[in-house]
């Protein structure tokens, strides 16, 4: 009886072992052997890309760099002491990586301070229900005693605009959720983030007292997600406070409003905008061996929001970008063009670092031929989006056969990134690194964006993916002309 039960399990184990061996053999075949479909030059590229991945997975430094940044500095708001510490940290790790040149580039950045912890709750039928809340970046404070008023729920800026004078003396509650039928969560984010960015400016002119916004995440949890808001060109007399409440709080409030349309919400926050401060982009490079005057930039943003540690947004992008140059140095890859890593300051609250970098490049007449940005988290690599002329877009798409064995199947035309986009011109090929997006908005701008949410192997695979793309761009965007292998 005992033998009868264990015999099928033994067969299953043998079959499982054969399956694992088959997978391993296929991976080796896919990434290490040559094929008649590749040119001689592409076979060299295959071997070099394999070495790039081996280096990232066996000798990568990105994970420990990220641990250091997030654990010892944490959140890095533009203008904050932590941001200043991050600049010094960036200089230090670039020196450790042995780059040819390292310097700091001044940039004027916003200095918004959150102040004391925010408080919010609603009162219905005499019952007080706390709501998880956080102020939105750039928001003004409430009066010192807070605001306490009836609520109007809306689902779009158009609906809010239509309120007119009905908004006077009320708190406007924007509650449009992510469209979870969209496979790419960035598309869902783009479909509702306007209510966070422009919600207060839309109703302040009607005399609304404040706005509360459903957090920008597809998760239903009790973590509020911050993010920047804009007052634009409206007069200061129309500025009103803006805050985000957690998705769980938004669901609860919406249900209760249907039962009690006259319920009131309380909001208190002490955030304020201080004068702009001087900060810095941190820049390092490996000089090109043939065309040092031509630059390919790779980077992410050094600043982050303060609720978490800025791990996925954008600590992962920072360390992956530096890892690209570390991989080049480790493998003695001598680029034809100058490869430059930039830790941009102030992506979250206005792009001061991106503007400073683009302005300096224009003033000194630097020739940029390409750029790659990582600002979509540190999850499993999926591909790249390309912002370039038709010839170079087609060229980058042709590299899919070299990159697909590493999971990089999604290589297509699209945006690049907020920090490198000011470099856009017909002769510059800009690329955005695109990891799997499904978990990113669980952490984006929230207290959950911490080091423990980053998987070491996924991070290292991303570093290797970026290094492989930079390797190919350096080789085949030679002389700013698309030359096919």
281 φ/ψ angles, rounded to the nearest 5 degrees:
-80, 145
Whether 347 is catalytic is yes
Long-range contacts, stretch 363-369, CB < 8 angstroms, 24+ apart: 366/293, 366/295, 367/293, 367/294, 367/295, 367/480, 368/294, 368/295, 368/296, 368/297, 368/423, 368/428, 369/294, 369/295, 369/296, 369/337, 369/427, 369/428, 369/429, 369/473, 369/477, 369/480
CB contact set of 287 (below 8 Å; sequence gap of 6+): 100, 101, 338
The single residue of 347, 348, 373, 460 carrying the catalytic annotation is: 347
Q: Which residues are known catalytic residues?
A: 347
């Amino acid at each position: 009886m005992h033998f009868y039960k264990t015999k099928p399990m033994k067969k299953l184990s043998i079959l499982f072992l054969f399956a694992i061996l088959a997978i391993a053999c296929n991976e080796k075949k896919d990434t290490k052997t040559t094929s008649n479909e590749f040119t001689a030059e592409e076979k060299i590229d295959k071997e070099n890309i394999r070495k790039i991945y081996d280096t990232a997975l066996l000798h990568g430094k990105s994970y420990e760099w990220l641990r250091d940044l997030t654990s010892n500095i944490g959140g890095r708001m533009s203008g904050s002491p932590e941001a200043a510490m991050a600049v010094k940290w960036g200089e230090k790790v670039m020196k450790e990586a042995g780059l040819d040149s390292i310097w700091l580039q001044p940039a004027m950045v916003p200095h918004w301070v959150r102040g004391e912890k925010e408080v919010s709750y609603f009162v219905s039928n005499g019952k007080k229900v706390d709501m998880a809340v956080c102020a939105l970046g750039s928001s003004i404070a409430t009066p010192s005693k807070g605001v306490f008023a009836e609520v109007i729920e809306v689902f779009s800026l158009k609906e809010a605009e239509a309120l007119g004078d009905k908004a006077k003396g009320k708190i406007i509650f924007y509650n449009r959720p992510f469209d979870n039928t969209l496979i790419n969560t960035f598309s869902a984010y783009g479909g509702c983030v306007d209510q966070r960015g422009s919600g207060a400016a839309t109703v302040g002119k009607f005399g609304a007292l404040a706005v509360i916004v459903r957090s920008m995440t597809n998760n239903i949890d009790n973590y509020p997600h911050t993010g920047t808001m804009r007052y634009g060109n409206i007069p200061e007399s129309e500025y009103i406070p803006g805050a985000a409440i957690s998705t769980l709080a938004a669901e609860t409030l919406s249900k209760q409003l249907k039962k009690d349309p006259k319920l009131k919400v309380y909001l208190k926050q002490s955030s304020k905008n201080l004068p702009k401060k001087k900060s810095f982009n941190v820049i390092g490079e490996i000089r090109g061996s043939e065309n040092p005057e031509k630059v390919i930039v790779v980077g992410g943003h050094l600043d982050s929001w303060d609720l978490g540690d800025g791990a996925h947004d954008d600590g992962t992008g920072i360390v992956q970008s530096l890892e690209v140059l570390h991989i080049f140095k480790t493998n003695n890859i001598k680029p034809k063009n100058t490869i430059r890593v930039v830790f941009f300051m102030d992506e979250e609250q206005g792009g001061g670092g991106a503007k400073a970098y683009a302005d300096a490049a224009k003033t000194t007449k630097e020739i940029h031929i390409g750029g790659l940005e990582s600002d979509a988290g540190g999850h499993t690599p999926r591909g790249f989006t390309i912002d370039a002329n038709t010839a170079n877009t087609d060229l980058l798409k042709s590299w899919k056969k070299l990159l697909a064995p590493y999971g990089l199947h999604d290589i297509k035309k699209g945006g690049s990134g907020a920090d490198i986009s000011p470099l856009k011109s017909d002769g510059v090929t800009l690329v955005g690194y695109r990891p799997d997006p499904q978990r990113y908005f669980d952490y984006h701008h929230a207290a959950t964006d911490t080091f423990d949410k980053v998987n070491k192997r996924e991070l290292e695979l991303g570093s290797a993916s970026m290094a492989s793309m930079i390797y190919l761009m350096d080789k085949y965007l030679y002389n700013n002309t698309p030359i096919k292998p």
